[in-house]
Structure 1
Amino acid sequence: MPINGPKVLFGYADRAMDCQCALEDEFELLVEAAENAGWSRREVFDALTELARCGQAAEAENEETSRAVAAAIRLVRRH
């Protein structure tokens, strides 16, 4: 099933809610598939929460690395 994109490319008041709505059907299918494989709903929700947390941490680290690389490039160009 295709996932709907945002109504506007950049920030608007309901963007986070629209994202949740766009992902909801696929989320439920994923939870159902995991349950059918033998996992409890609680286990699935805990696992998805941890995956989201790790994804956020990795994204923050990538952003920090990008900032550091950009700063190093600016420094090299000045000299």
Structure 2
Amino acid sequence: MISRPRRDITYPDRELDCQEAMEPGFQAIVDCMLEVGWARGEVMRALRRLIAADNMTQKENARVEAELAIARAMIRARK
């Protein structure tokens, strides 16, 4: 049974709890990919691409958040 991370987002081990909760799901995905005939190398490449896409998304989101914070500060400074 997968246990959900605690709702308090400030505790130190939240990231580990989230990884632990996701691990069985990723293992099931990998098992399905292997079952239908994907080679291990193909599975690993696909997972690496998924991780790379997530990293790019996180960087872009951080950039947009920074731009929004600057824009909000400029608007507040005008008032």
Q: For 1:1-79, what aligned pairs fall within 5 Å after superposition?
A: 3-7=2-6, 9-79=8-78
CA distance in 1, matches of 2:46, 2:53: 11
1:64 partner letter: R
RMSD: 2.2
TM-score normalised to the size of structure 1?
A: 0.75
CA distance in 1, matches of 2:15, 2:77: 40
TM-score normalised to the size of structure 2?
A: 0.75
C-alpha spacing 1:31/1:11, structure 2 compared with 1 (3 Å): same
**Contiguous gaps of at least 5 residues in structure 1:** none
C-alpha spacing 1:77/1:15, structure 2 compared with 1 (3 Å): closer
Shift of 1:68: 0.6
Identity of aligned residues (%): 32
2:38 alignment partner, SS class: coil
Aligned length: 78
**Contiguous gaps of at least 5 residues in structure 2:** none
CA distance in 1, matches of 2:6, 2:35: 34
Map Cα deviations across residues 2-24 of structure 1 (whole Å, 9 max, x no partner): 85321352244433332222112
